[in-house]
Amino acid sequence: MNFLTNRDISLELTHEILATAAGDVGDLPPLLQGKRAILLFEKTSTRTRFSFERALGELGCATSYADLRSTNFVKAHAVDEVRVIGDYADLLLIRMGDHELLAQMAEATPVPIINCMTDLAHPCQALADALTIVQHCAKPLTEVTVAYAGDFTNVLRSLAEICCPLGAQMKVAVPEPARTSDPTIEQAQSQSQLTYFDNVADAVRGADVVYTDTWVSLGQEEERSQRMELFGPFAITKEVFESANDTAIFMHCLPAERGAEVASDVFDHPRSVVFRQAYNRYTTGKALLYHLLKAGTERAA
């Protein structure tokens, strides 16, 4: 079973993964003993790489890591290359820009592929986000309002792809020029679960979760000055954060630029859960691996 977006797994399996991740993942049996995984990353990574390496090791899986740019993926067609490395591994964890190409690669090999981030989606991050919200909000997810502010990123898309089907409401403050036509967002809007706002304060007011992402993603460094000007009014300042509910939490997928998308006094606020959120990349990653591979083993049997 591939995991390219959060829609690739059922709500039932999503709940199972979150429930497992909320428990003691150290108790999970080494289901991947004798297996080998290849981590193939085109983009730099901290949380994704090290959380999965730990999780895979604890599940008994041997791992190989490669910077995609140091391989012949940069010379040959990626579909041909993935057919080769698929014969060397039982699982592929891939982090690259082109989501459509990743989907083609997944069709070319029977080996399960986990999307460790593309420009379109960041489904593993969304699992960690959902778990963090469940852990730190004193109400069920079906009663939670998530406010997101800033750029229209893969993180926003995947956040909507998991939170809305699980019953949460989303209020999104993204400047008009940055908004993108997207089926996930449009479906959530049509079901009255997601609303756009032109003003960040209006989006955050009364929210249970305040979430933002970087304004300058990998590959956008040359656009920095223009992006700072465009997104400047959408920053999460302490004044903006305090307009949320009294128990609201602050979230950021990291890395963050203090003083840009978020003020330091919000990032370091007692109700900032960014480091627990980062830790949950490990717990949800391990639970994801366990359930995906367990399901595959059961089908094979």
pLDDT of residue 221: 81
What is the second-level CATH architecture of the domain 6-121+281-300? Answer: 3-Layer(aba) Sandwich (3.40)
Whether 54 is a known active-site residue: answer no
Residues 6+ apart with CB under 8 A from 167: 140, 141, 142
pLDDT tops 50 at residue 301 = no
Rounded CA-CA distance 30/142 in Å is 34
Average pLDDT over residues 221-236: 93
pLDDT tops 70 at residue 182 = yes
Residues 6+ apart with CB under 8 A from 68: 40, 41, 42, 74, 96
Q: From the candidates 122, 227, 252, 269, give the one annotated as an active-site residue.
A: 122
pLDDT above 90 as % of the chain: 94
pLDDT of residue 218: 67
- Tokens encoding 216: 């300058």
Fold match flag (6-121+281-300 vs 124-278):
yes
Greatest Cα-to-Cα distance within the chain, rounded to the nearest angstrom: 57
Delimit the domains of the chain by residue range. 6-121+281-300, 124-278
Average pLDDT over residues 74-91: 96
Report the 10 Å Cβ neighbour count for 259: 10
Query: Tell me: domain 124-278, CATH 1.10.620.20, correct?
Result: no
pTM metric for this prediction: 0.96
pLDDT of residue 223: 85
Instruction: Name the phi and psi angles at 137, rounded to 5.
Output: -100, 135
State the number of CA atoms in the 13 A half-sphere of 188 facing the CB: 25
Q: From the candidates 253, 269, 277, 291, give the one annotated as an active-site residue.
A: 253
pLDDT tops 70 at residue 211 = yes
Over residues 249-281, the pLDDT tens digits come to 999 999 999 999 999 999 999 999 999 999 999
Q: How confident is the model at residue 298 (pLDDT cuts 50, 70, 90)?
A: low
pLDDT of residue 220: 76
pLDDT of residue 295: 67
Whether 122 is a known active-site residue: answer yes
pLDDT of residue 179: 96
Q: From the candidates 116, 125, 129, 208, give the one annotated as an active-site residue.
A: 125
Q: From the candidates 47, 61, 95, 157, give the one annotated as an active-site residue.
A: 95
Average pLDDT over residues 219-228: 86
Whether 213 is a known active-site residue: answer yes
Whether 163 is a known active-site residue: answer no
Over residues 46-75, the pLDDT tens digits come to 999 999 999 999 999 999 999 999 999 999
Whether 164 is a known active-site residue: answer no
Average per-residue pLDDT for the chain:
95
Residues 6+ apart with CB under 8 A from 89: 36, 37, 38, 64, 111
Average pLDDT over residues 117-143: 97
